[in-house]
């Protein structure tokens, strides 16, 4: 199997990051296949630790995962290149899509299509919330999950509490109220 | 809006979230509610653009930056997505063992639960702006069910909902 090099490693992040749709989990699964199974540049324990830490690192899980995996293999230069490979080209695509939205603003047919996509955004956001909530709805944990979900929704929607305060309070509750593993 | 302020506000949103769209409540609060430099519709469009492109879901922040300040704003958004990621390296070096402690894991789980409530809270005003017809409501519900039950790629939802919107206009 080939030795790790900055060029090879950056190419993997560029290829996987820009050809995998669906966000963090599918992309991290593809990187697991490339870095752990095919090339063995990371072992399973390293991958598991990085995956777990990426979940608790502020920001986007996938970008943190890329930084840590590349750093573990080839140090800081690799971490920087991996993060750039993972974010800059898709950001250009995002800008083009946003620019398209602004350009097509006066075309009724384009706006009908965009309106359909924008309606879907509500469904996507609800899915995102569900994916965070669903793993905690199980015996021993559902009560805490329900209380925190409803309390944070009410605090934000009814009392306009700032999101950072809500998250800080939730962390405090988590320290004090530990549910079954 | 000043680019440094834009970057710092977007960084505040990304650095206080733990996955792609969970930064949205802070973005909504700062840019839509407080400063009025972004509309509900633009934020909806930003989420759609971010989910349509490959790569991390959190890149909708790039679109937010673009709406507010053009290409320099998009660069500020991209930088705000990148910056917190490097925190993982000192964590990997020094905190790896502690991440498994029950109290820390419990706190993280509760933050994720609160984030889900915050995402729903941020979705309500955006849905109020976007879901103005039975067709739009149908598209939103169908998108939710499709993504939850099929695990298929988001790009199919975006393409399908665009086709449904177009068909609704033509028929």
pLDDT at A22: 56
Domain of residue A167, residue span: 137-181
Contact assignment for A115 to B60 by CB distance below 8 Å: no
- A63 and A144 in a common domain: no
pLDDT tens digits for A7-65?
Answer: 999 999 998 887 765 566 667 777 877 888 778 898 877 776 787 678 778 888 889 98
Q: A175 to each of A91, A138, A141, B4, B44, how far by Cα in Å?
A: 37, 19, 14, 35, 35
Nearest CA in chain B to A17: B55
pLDDT at A9: 93
Assigned domain for A173 exists: yes
Contact assignment for A27 to B56 by CB distance below 8 Å: yes
Contact assignment for B26 to A163 by CB distance below 8 Å: yes
Q: Is A153 on the interface with B (CB under 8 A)?
A: yes
pLDDT at B154: 66
Assigned domain for A115 exists: no
Assigned domain for A113 exists: no
pLDDT beyond 70 at B13: yes
Nearest to B155 among A21, A76, A87 (CB): A21
Nearest to A115 among B58, B81, B136 (CB): B136
- A22 and A89 in a common domain: yes
As for how many domains chain A has, the answer is: 2
* Chain CA centroid to CA A20, Å: 13
Contact assignment for A125 to B62 by CB distance below 8 Å: no
Contact assignment for B118 to A166 by CB distance below 8 Å: yes
Which H or E element spans position B108?
Answer: helix B102-130
pLDDT at B141: 94
Assigned domain for A1 exists: no
pLDDT band at A145 (very low <50, low <70, confident <90, very high): very high
pLDDT at A7: 93
Highest mean pLDDT among A42-46, A114-118, A123-127, A173-177: A173-177
pLDDT band at A1 (very low <50, low <70, confident <90, very high): low
pLDDT band at A140 (very low <50, low <70, confident <90, very high): confident
Domain ranges of chain B: 3-130, 131-171
Domain boundary among A64, A95, A126: A95
pLDDT tens digits for B20-74?
Answer: 677 888 899 899 988 999 998 889 889 888 877 777 878 899 999 999 999 999 9
Ordered DSSP codes for A89-141: HHHHHHHHHHHHHHHGGG-HHHHHHHHHHHHHHHHHHHHHHHHHHGGG-STTT
- Percent of chain A scored above 70 by pLDDT? 93
Highest mean pLDDT among A5-19, A43-57, A77-91, B79-93: A77-91
Average pLDDT, chain B: 85
Nearest to B91 among A53, A149, A150 (CB): A53
Q: A91 to each of A14, A28, B79, how far by Cα in Å?
A: 13, 18, 10
Nearest to B123 among A93, A98, A126 (CB): A126
- A144 and A89 in a common domain: no
pLDDT band at A85 (very low <50, low <70, confident <90, very high): very high
How many angstroms separate the CA atoms of B32 and A91, rounded?
22
pLDDT at B150: 84
Assigned domain for A75 exists: yes
pLDDT beyond 80 at A163: no
Assigned domain for A129 exists: no
pLDDT band at B135 (very low <50, low <70, confident <90, very high): very high
Q: Is A143 on the interface with B (CB under 8 A)?
A: no
- A144 and A78 in a common domain: no
- A25 and A78 in a common domain: yes
pLDDT band at A132 (very low <50, low <70, confident <90, very high): confident
pLDDT at B151: 66
User: B95 to chain A: which residues are within 8 Å by CB?
Assistant: 53
Question: With contact defined as beta carbons under 8 Å apart, do B88 and A59 qualify?
Answer: no
Threshold 0.90, pTM exceeds:
no
How many angstroms separate the CA atoms of B99 and B121, rounded?
29
Q: Is B73 on the interface with A (CB under 8 A)?
A: no
Shortest distance between the Cα of B1 and any Cα of chain A, in A, equals 18
pLDDT at A23: 62
Average pLDDT, chain A: 84
């Amino acid at each position: 199997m080939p030795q790790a090099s900055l060029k090879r490693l950056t190419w993997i992040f560029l290829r996987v990051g820009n050809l995998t749709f669906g966000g963090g989990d599918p992309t991290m699964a593809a990187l697991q296949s490339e870095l752990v199974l095919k090339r063995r540049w990371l072992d399973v324990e390293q991958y598991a630790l990085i995956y777990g830490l990426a979940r608790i690192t502020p920001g986007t899980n996938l970008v943190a995962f890329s930084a840590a995996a590349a750093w573990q293999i080839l140090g800081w230069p690799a971490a920087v290149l991996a993060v750039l490979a993972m974010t800059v080209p898709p950001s250009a695509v995002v800008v083009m899509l946003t620019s398209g939205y602004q350009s097509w603003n006066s075309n009724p047919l384009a706006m009908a299509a965009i309106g359909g996509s924008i309606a879907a955004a509500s469904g996507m956001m609800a899915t995102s919330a569900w994916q965070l909530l669903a793993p905690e709805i199980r015996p021993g944990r559902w009560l805490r999950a329900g209380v925190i979900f409803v309390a944070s929704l009410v605090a934000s929607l009814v009392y306009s509490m700032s999101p950072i305060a809500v998250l800080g309070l939730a962390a405090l509750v988590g320290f004090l109220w530990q549910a079954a593993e | 809006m000043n680019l440094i302020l834009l970057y710092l506000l977007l960084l505040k949103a990304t650095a206080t979230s733990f996955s792609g769209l969970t930064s949205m409540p802070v973005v909504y609060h700062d840019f839509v509610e407080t400063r009025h430099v972004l509309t509900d519709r633009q934020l909806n469009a930003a989420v759609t653009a971010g989910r349509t492109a490959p790569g991390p879901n959190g890149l909708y922040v790039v679109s937010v930056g673009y709406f507010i300040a053009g290409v320099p704003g998009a660069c500020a958004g991209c930088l705000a997505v990148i910056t917190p990621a490097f925190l993982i390296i000192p964590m990997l070096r020094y905190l790896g063992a502690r991440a498994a402690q029950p109290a820390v894991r419990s706190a993280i789980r509760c933050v994720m639960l609160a984030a889900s409530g915050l995402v729903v809270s941020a979705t309500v005003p955006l849905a109020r702006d976007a879901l103005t017809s039975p067709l739009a409501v149908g598209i939103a519900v169908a998108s939710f069910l499709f993504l939850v039950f099929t695990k298929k790629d988001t790009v199919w939802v975006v393409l399908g909902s665009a086709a449904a919107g177009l068909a609704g206009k033509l028929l």
